[in-house]
Amino acid sequence: MSSARDRVLGTATRLFYAEGIHTVGVDRVIADASVAKATFYHHFKSKEDLVLAYLATEYARQRGVLEAVPGTGLDRLASILTELADLSRGPGFRGCPFLNAAAEYPDAATPVRRLVDEYRAWYRGLMYDLLVEAGRSDPDRKADLLLLVRDGIAVAGGLGDQAAVQAGVRTALEVV
Amino acid sequence: MSSARDRVLGTATRLFYAEGIHTVGVDRVIADASVAKATFYHHFKSKEDLVLAYLATEYARQRGVLEAVPGTGLDRLASILTELADLSRGPGFRGCPFLNAAAEYPDAATPVRRLVDEYRAWYRGLMYDLLVEAGRSDPDRKADLLLLVRDGIAVAGGLGDQAAVQAGVRTALEVV
DNA sequence: CCGATACTAGACAGACCTGTCTGGTATCGT
DNA sequence: ACGATACCAGACAGGTCTGTCTAGTATCGG
């Protein structure tokens, strides 16, 4: 139910990711979602509220996707990294939604930035757990490295630099 | 001469880097630079012109800085990477100006994005040359990797994640 | 059936945006 | 001395932004 809300959130997700948050206005979102302005402000108390919903939804979605990746330990880790690399080859790929959002919200105290930190901490935790499960040495440092490589893949992929993406994935898997 | 232009460019550099490009308006720049609006539009034909000047200046500045880093081959490469890591520890560090700009300009055909590509190509070339100078094997792939690690360091540093930065630098130097 | 909830269309306020224009002053090189 | 250039202050136009408000329709649980 409340399909108007879903339509708004879906449209916002598409537009914010493809064109950036600051450049897409509320008017644009509600026009594309075919929703009245009052309805929008009925469901979201402000644009920032919508932005947070967009990121929170994406966070939940990624959690679902990555938790469904089969395998254990290093196999699963490799699957996750190569899947990210494959994704970055797609035509609609525009980098990591969280890193893009962070670039548009310079103030680290912002709720948006806190959500980005939370996302990255979760991702690092996932890497850490998989490293421990695989019985690898120095999982803390390796988890940090994998997070950084993930960031790099997202950035390079978003800029269309497939060579760097490939180098990143291969080296990460070798090191780890 | 033309100190007004310098003041505008300096102020724009500071504000664009610290607060983002889209969120800082021309009015804000000219007020902070204590310059009349007509003077601004005398020196820059549009805001985008100012943005390009900001990035071009930063590009030239970095070229100067990195070309002045002493040493040869791997030593010089290590110096460059650790200097970047040190820089990312500083309080004013907000990531790479070019990556931040790219995040605000989703369209890859934009002049801004072309300048970002040019910057990254230059950086990769620098890495490649140093690897060849050091006689390392597989310099192409390693240059790609170093570029990706650089991207990761800039992102992680900008988000205040020093652990990831350290892991990135150390691993990059080991691998290379 | 009735009250709450979800929705529609669109006007409106007030702020901010880029860019132009007027009109005037000061400082140059020649 | 004079013309070009650099600079100042600030009004203005035309657009976009977020968010509120009016006014009315439709749907649904109890």
Q: What is the pLDDT of residues A36-80, one digit of tens each?
A: 999 999 999 999 999 999 999 999 999 999 999 999 999 999 999
Indicate where chain B has its CATH 1.10.357.10 domain(s). Answer: 47-175
Mean pLDDT of B130-139: 97
Q: Which residue has the tokens 């539009």?
A: B41
pLDDT band at residue A170 using 50, 70 and 90 as cut-offs: very high
pLDDT score at A171: 94
Enumerate residues 6+ apart whose C-beta is below 8 A from A66: A80, A126
pLDDT of B102 above 70: yes
pLDDT of B77 above 60: yes
Shortest distance, CA B126 to any CA of chain A (angstroms): 15
Indicate where chain B has its CATH 1.10.10.60 domain(s). Answer: 1-44
DSSP letters of B97-113?
Answer: HHHHHHHH---TTSHHH
pLDDT band at residue B176 using 50, 70 and 90 as cut-offs: confident
The backbone region for B44, taken as left when phi is positive above 0, alpha when psi lies in -120 to 50, beta otherwise, is: beta
A99/B contact by beta carbon, under 8 A: yes
Q: How many CB pairs under 8 A join A and B?
A: 128
Asked if A164 and B145 come within 8 Å (Cβ–Cβ), the reply is yes
B142/A contact by beta carbon, under 8 A: yes
Enumerate residues 6+ apart whose C-beta is below 8 A from B164: A124, A144, A145, A147, A148, A151, B152, B156
Mean pLDDT of A110-131: 98
Closest among B45, B47, B4 to B25, alpha carbons compared: B47
B56/A contact by beta carbon, under 8 A: no
pLDDT band at residue A2 using 50, 70 and 90 as cut-offs: low
pTM, to two decimals: 0.95
Minimum Cα–Cα distance from A97: chain B residue: B103
Mean pLDDT of B39-64: 97
Q: Is the CB of A47 under 7 A from strand C?
A: no
Percent pLDDT > 70 in chain B is 99
Q: How far is it, in rounded angstroms, from Cα B136 to Cα B127?
A: 11
pLDDT of B1 above 80: no
Is A72:A159 a contact under the CB 8 Å cutoff? no
Q: Which nucleotides of strand D come closer than 7 angstroms to any CB of the protein?
A: 6-11, 16-23
pLDDT of A127 above 80: yes
Closest among B40, B166, B150, B47 to A159, alpha carbons compared: B150
How far does Cα A88 stand from its chain's mean position? 12
Q: Which CATH superfamily is domain B1-44 in?
A: Homeodomain-like (1.10.10.60)
pLDDT band at residue A1 using 50, 70 and 90 as cut-offs: low
Percent pLDDT > 70 in chain A is 99
Q: How far is it, in rounded angstroms, from Cα A43 to Cα A135?
A: 47
Enumerate residues 6+ apart whose C-beta is below 8 A from A50: A8, A9, A12, A26, A29, A40, A44
pLDDT score at A176: 86
pLDDT of B2 above 90: no
Tokens of B64: 């100067």
Tokens of A92: 């609609």
Domain spanning A47-175 has what CATH number?
1.10.357.10
pLDDT score at B104: 97
